[in-house]
């Protein structure tokens, strides 16, 4: 009994130490967001900020060349649209790959898994050329549509639907529903866990996207990640505003994660990725 308690205490101790380690970057962001440039770049590290006020936030909001409020709005619009589109497309594709087991379905599944092995950066050039030819540069269509097709999200949905009880669908078909009605009225309402999990992953990924919005976005569709990069110039780095902007950009996703974390764990557990 004593050995079991010691082992439990050891596990909690290791978990707490790892939690503190992973929270260290967030602490640095908060500390620097409320510090002056001299305190941030000082040779001696100070654990506490030297100005606990909103001076850096006021400076950030007053900077019209950055336009942080508009950038946050653009990121929110892009993230919500891309998450909604990705969930719908991947939900349908994953269900089809799970329910249709003929040869063509297996080939499509293999191709889907194969795309996971292709580095995303290698697809940016052809995607950019297609986007430019469609006239989608500096539009939300250019930011959202290319990112709506996710092989990873499709695979997660497919794994979940493999374990979904088909008896529920058979019962609805006997009651007179067609396959489409059965999917939307029976399958989808009972898949909220995996939908929330995939939605959370896609939402955080869309919000944090940098390279694609840098290529496609311009002044009208500049996202918050691109806006923050403007604090780093050839003349130097404006650390106080950069870290305050980073803190402002992190908070929305932190709240989303705290609210949806139980769905994220539940969805990944039931999808077969144990």
Q: What is the pLDDT of residue 273?
A: 44
| CA–CA dist 54, 241 (Å, integer) | 11
Phi/psi zone of residue 85: left (φ > 0), alpha (ψ -120 to 50 degrees), beta?
Answer: alpha
Q: What is the pLDDT of residue 274?
A: 43
What are the chain's domains?
1-52 (no CATH), 54-271 (1.10.3720.10)
What is the H or E stretch that residue 95 is in? helix 68-99
Q: What is the pLDDT of residue 70?
A: 92
Q: What is the pLDDT of residue 236?
A: 77
What Cα–Cα distance (Å) separates residue 112 from each residue in 106, 107, 150, 153, 156?
10, 9, 9, 10, 12
Q: What is the pLDDT of residue 265?
A: 67
Q: Which residues contact 230 (CB under 8 A, 6 or more apart)?
A: 65, 66
Q: What is the pLDDT of residue 66?
A: 84
Low-confidence residues of the chain, pLDDT below 50?
272-274
Q: What is the pTM of this model?
A: 0.85
Are residues 78 and 202 in contact, defined by beta-carbon separation less than 8 angstroms? no
DSSP state of 183: I
Q: What is the pLDDT of residue 200?
A: 87
Q: What is the pLDDT of residue 206?
A: 92
Q: What is the pLDDT of residue 167?
A: 82
Nearest residue to 241 via CA among 61, 24, 69, 50? 61
Are residues 194 and 271 in contact, defined by beta-carbon separation less than 8 angstroms? yes
Are residues 186 and 99 in contact, defined by beta-carbon separation less than 8 angstroms? no
């Amino acid at each position: 009994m004593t050995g079991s308690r010691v082992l439990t205490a050891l596990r909690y101790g290791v978990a707490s130490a790892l939690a503190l380690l992973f929270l260290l970057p967030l602490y640095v962001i908060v500390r620097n967001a409320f510090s002056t440039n001299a305190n941030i770049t000082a040779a001696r590290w100070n654990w506490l900020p030297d100005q606990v006020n909103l001076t850096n936030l006021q400076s950030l909001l007053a900077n019209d060349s950055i336009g942080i409020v508009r950038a946050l709005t653009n990121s929110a619009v892009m993230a919500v649209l891309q998450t909604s589109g990705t969930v719908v497309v991947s939900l349908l594709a994953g269900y089809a790959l799970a329910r249709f087991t003929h040869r063509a379905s297996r080939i499509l599944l293999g191709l889907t898994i194969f795309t996971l092995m292709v580095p995303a950066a290698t697809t940016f050039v052809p995607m950019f050329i297609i986007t430019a030819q469609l006239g989608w540069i500096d539009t939300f269509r250019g930011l959202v549509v290319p990112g709506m097709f996710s092989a990873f999200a499709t695979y997660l949905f497919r794994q979940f639907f493999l374990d979904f009880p088909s008896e529920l669908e058979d019962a609805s078909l006997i009651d007179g529903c067609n396959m489409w009605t059965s999917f939307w009225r029976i399958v989808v309402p009972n898949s909220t866990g995996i939908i929330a999990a995939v939605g959370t992953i896609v939402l955080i990924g869309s919000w944090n996207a940098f390279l694609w919005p840098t290529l496609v976005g311009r002044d009208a569709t500049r996202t918050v990640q691109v806006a923050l990069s403007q604090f780093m110039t050839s003349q130097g780095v404006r650390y106080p505003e950069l870290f305050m902007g980073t803190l402002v950009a992190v908070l929305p996703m932190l709240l989303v994660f705290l609210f949806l974390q139980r769905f994220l764990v539940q969805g990944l557990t039931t999808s077969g990725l144990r």
